[in-house]
Structure 1
Amino acid sequence: MDIIYRPIGIIRSPFKTLSDMPVQPVSDASANGFVEIDPQYQEGLRDVEGFSHLILIYHFHRAQPSKLSVLPFLDTSPRGVFSTRAPSRPNPIGLSIVGLREINKNRLSVTQLDILDETPLIDIKPYVPEFDAHPEAYGGWFERSRGAARKKLSDDRFE
């Protein structure tokens, strides 16, 4: 079975290289930016302004070929790719939760970006606290690195 996705827009951020990009949206280095939706999809943005946050689903367009074991940014031990958020995946799909500042036609102004400039956008979903927030959740091996993502920047290990 072939699965084909086409971008619905592009993400504009100040991060031109991996070396200055944060590894998660919660980072102190995350930034404001824009999401430009192709005009043919603009109608799909109706009612989005009522949400404070959005889930961006995008293509890791500069990721290395897939690896099943990776050395993640927040650990020193190799981990199975499905226990990480590394971009070198069988399907190089990323997701980030960003804050929504405003919408002007087909351009969304967002906060807390951790995404490279010119990243192809696959989809947008609203962040719904009742569905998406799980205070009782446990973060596996990430628990030992709690808070470290706020200070960690990317590097070239996945490019």
Structure 2
Amino acid sequence: MTRIEFTPTGIVHSPFHDPRDMPIQPVGARGVRGTVELHPGCAPGLKDIEGFSRIILLYHFHRSEGYSLEVVPFLDARPHGVFATRAPRRPNAIGLSILRLVAVDGATLIVEDVDILDGTPVLDIKPYVPAFDAYPDERSGWLAETEKDPGSVRSDDRFC
């Protein structure tokens, strides 16, 4: 297998300093404010981003070590394949969050709905475009059977 390396483009600043007891998805972090601070040389890449209400943030789960191909996710008591979950301990520790873009200040994005650990390295930013990214009629697999509310579930130490 070919090795792939990424260079972070910035860092996330959030109120979450411990992976325990944080929201597990942006829906559970509504209104939680943070910033995405890009390296100054990346600032030109933000041109015209202020016209979007949401961004897709791709980042490295920098505190995640190892992985299992079957995990028990926060929203279920049964094991599932890691690729059928959003668990942070994955073969490639890449996270994705769709955040509300509040403002742009130079090389810094002010964002809300932050469910990301403080100090997380940013890999990429893409604009969220409802016409491209929203598929409300699609199936959601095992999540359709869960009775847990993803907005109220908090993380524990199972992926620390």
> Structure 1 length normalisation: TM-score?
0.96
Which structure 2 residues correspond to residues 6-155 of structure 1 after superposition, within 5 A? Answer: 6-28=7-29, 31-145=32-146, 148-155=149-156
Q: How many angstroms apart in 2 are the aligned matches of 1:146 and 1:130? A: 29
Q: How many angstroms apart in 2 are the aligned matches of 1:146 and 1:77? A: 13
Aligned residues: 159
> Structure 2 length normalisation: TM-score?
0.96
Amino acid at match of 1:95: L
Identity of aligned residues (%): 50
CA contact (8 A) 1:21 1:30 kept: no
Amino acid at match of 2:88: P
Closer, same or farther: CA 8–36 of 1 in aligned 2, 3 Å? same
Q: How many angstroms apart in 1 are the aligned matches of 2:83 and 2:107? A: 33
Q: What's the offset of the Cα at 1:58?
A: 0.2
1:1-25 deviation per Cα after TM superposition (whole angstroms, max 9, x unaligned): 2211010000000001112310000
1:38-64 deviation per Cα after TM superposition (whole angstroms, max 9, x unaligned): 001000000000000000000000113
Unaligned runs of 5+ in 2: none
Q: How many angstroms apart in 2 are the aligned matches of 1:7 and 1:66? A: 21
Closer, same or farther: CA 58–69 of 1 in aligned 2, 3 Å? same
Unaligned runs of 5+ in 1: none
SS at match of 2:26: coil
CA RMSD of aligned residues (A): 1.2
Q: How many angstroms apart in 1 are the aligned matches of 2:27 and 2:44? A: 30
Q: How many angstroms apart in 1 are the aligned matches of 2:101 and 2:122? A: 16
Amino acid at match of 1:108: L
SS at match of 2:5: coil
Deviates more, 1:19-28 or 1:128-137: 19-28
SS at match of 2:76: coil
SS at match of 1:124: strand
